[in-house]
Amino acid sequence: MLQFVARRILYMIPTLIIVSIISFIIIQLPPGDYLTTVVTNLRATGETVDEATLAAMEQRYGLNQPIYVQYWKWITGILLRGDFGQSFEWNQPVSALIWGRLGLTFTMSLATLLFTWAVAFPVGIFSAVRQYSIGDYIATFIGYVGLAVPDFLLALILMYVAFKVFNQSVGGLFSPDYVDAPWSWGKVWDLLKHLWVPVLIIGTGGTAGLIRVMRANLLDELHKPYVVTARAKGMTEARLILKYPVRVALNPFVSTVGWTLPILVSGSAVVSIVLALPTTGPLLLRALMSQDMYLAGSFIMLLSVLTVIGTFISDILLAWLDPRIRLTQ
């Protein structure tokens, strides 16, 4: 097991390095260099730019040095000092802007994951045990529709219905009273009251996929001899199914986390923009539109890095649950 974990960590390191390189490339892609943009922006707001500040910035980002030196300065700044650079649009260090939003994004993704499990588990079992029943068809159909409807469209429709029928807005994650309040139990409860809307919207696609996997896996198990034996011995059906085949069929719940997590994070980015949630999505879009590249690049990198780590944790969990995996690899 330890060996498996060590190997996975070894695999993860190049991934993280490449992710950081891609993010750095994205930062560098827009034409014109960072310093010129900053100076233009400062001039536009009527501030005077003194030479000493410029020189200090040039030194800090290594701006007139080759690209790999710039990358090195950027990445060591992040790793050693937690310095992600400066957001010129907000005129604040990037690190002051991102952590709160990243936290909310991953809270939302995690809540969605739990929701997906909570729904897919019973529905998947039902669909498999009562194969070709009306319930199975309905679940399958809803699953397909969930896969086909883009998240943002679902968000728009929900917003429209809430607006027309209930005459209220579903946007935001907090009530006005709590937006700027410090964290407290009241705020957490308020968050939970708002969170279900985006969770429902982002979760539909993943739930549909997981139901199908659960159903297929359980169907494979249900006709195996050990199930027949248990049944012949007079075990009650509910106990029999939950105790043996379901346990084997559960693997995908953990093994799919690896590819569900990126999808959830992606989905939450788009849905957040439509619903104007205070997560990474809207700020990332705005940063990209105004070419506030250090902010945008940091978002993309941290979203990716955290997703990679999430995938890594799910891999470890899976290996812990299923010995076959750590033995074959």
Partner 1 sequence: MANSVHPMLNDRKQVEREAGGPAVPNNSRSTEEARVLVASQWLLMWRKFRKHRLAMVGGTITIVVYLVVLFAEFLAPFPSNAFSSQHTYAPPQPLHLFDRTAEGLRFSPYVNGYSITINQAALKREFVVDKASKVPVRLFVHGTPYKLLGLFDADLHLIGPSVYDEDPTRIIIPMYLLGADRLGRDVLSRTIYGTRISMTLGLVGVALSFVIGLTLGGVSGFYGGWVDNTIQRVIELLRSIPTIPLWMGLAAALPSDWTPLQVFLGITILLSLIGWTGLARVVRGRFLALRTEDFILSARLDGNSTARTIRVHMIPAFASHIIASLTLAIPSMILSETALSFLGLGLRPPIVSWGVLLKEAQNIRAVATAPWLLLPGIAVIITVLALNFLGDGLRDAADPYGR
Nearest CB to partner 1, comparing residues 179 and 289: 289
End-to-end CA distance of the chain: 11
> Nearest-CA neighbor of 128 among 248, 206, 211, 207?
211
Residues 171-210 that bind partner 1 (CB under 8 A): 171
Nearest CB to partner 1, comparing residues 42 and 162: 162
Nearest CB to partner 1, comparing residues 157 and 188: 157
> Nearest-CA neighbor of 214 among 184, 252, 263, 257?
252
Using alpha carbons, list the distances in angstroms from residue 154 to 202, 267, 270.
9, 11, 11
Nearest CB to partner 1, comparing residues 123 and 303: 303
Nearest CB to partner 1, comparing residues 245 and 310: 310
Q: Taking the CA atoms of 147, 148, 149 and 150 in sequence, report the sign of the dihedral they define.
A: positive
Give the separation between CA 140 and CA 119, rounded to whole angstroms. 13
Residue 225, interface with partner 1 (CB under 8 A)?
no
Query: CB of residue 273 vs partner 1: minimum separation in angstroms?
Result: 6
Give the separation between CA 214 and CA 120, rounded to whole angstroms. 8
Residues 234-273 that bind partner 1 (CB under 8 A): 258-259, 262-263, 265-267, 269-270, 273
Give the separation between CA 74 and CA 83, rounded to whole angstroms. 8
Nearest CB to partner 1, comparing residues 139 and 263: 263
Q: Indicate which single residue of 13, 14, 134, 165 sits in contact with partner 1 (rule: CB under 8 A).
A: 14
Give the x-and-dash track for 30-49 against partner 1 (CB under 8 A): xx------------------
Phi, psi of 48 (to 5 degrees): -90, 145
Contact 247, 178 (CB under 8 A): no
Nearest CB to partner 1, comparing residues 40 and 53: 40
> Nearest-CA neighbor of 152 among 268, 265, 307, 280?
268
Nearest CB to partner 1, comparing residues 150 and 186: 150
Residue 145, interface with partner 1 (CB under 8 A)?
yes
Give the separation between CA 95 and CA 97, rounded to whole angstroms. 5
Query: CB of residue 209 vs partner 1: minimum separation in angstroms?
Result: 11
Give the separation between CA 143 and CA 156, rounded to whole angstroms. 19
Query: CB of residue 114 vs partner 1: minimum separation in angstroms?
Result: 19
Residue 148, interface with partner 1 (CB under 8 A)?
yes
Give the x-and-dash track for 273-312 against partner 1 (CB under 8 A): xx-----x---xx--xx-x----xx-xx--xx--xx--x-
Contact 254, 260 (CB under 8 A): no
Residues that bind partner 1 (CB under 8 A): 11, 14-15, 18-19, 22-23, 26, 29-31, 144-145, 147-153, 156-157, 159-160, 163-164, 169, 171, 258-259, 262-263, 265-267, 269-270, 273-274, 280, 284-285, 288-289, 291, 296-297, 299-300, 303-304, 307-308, 311
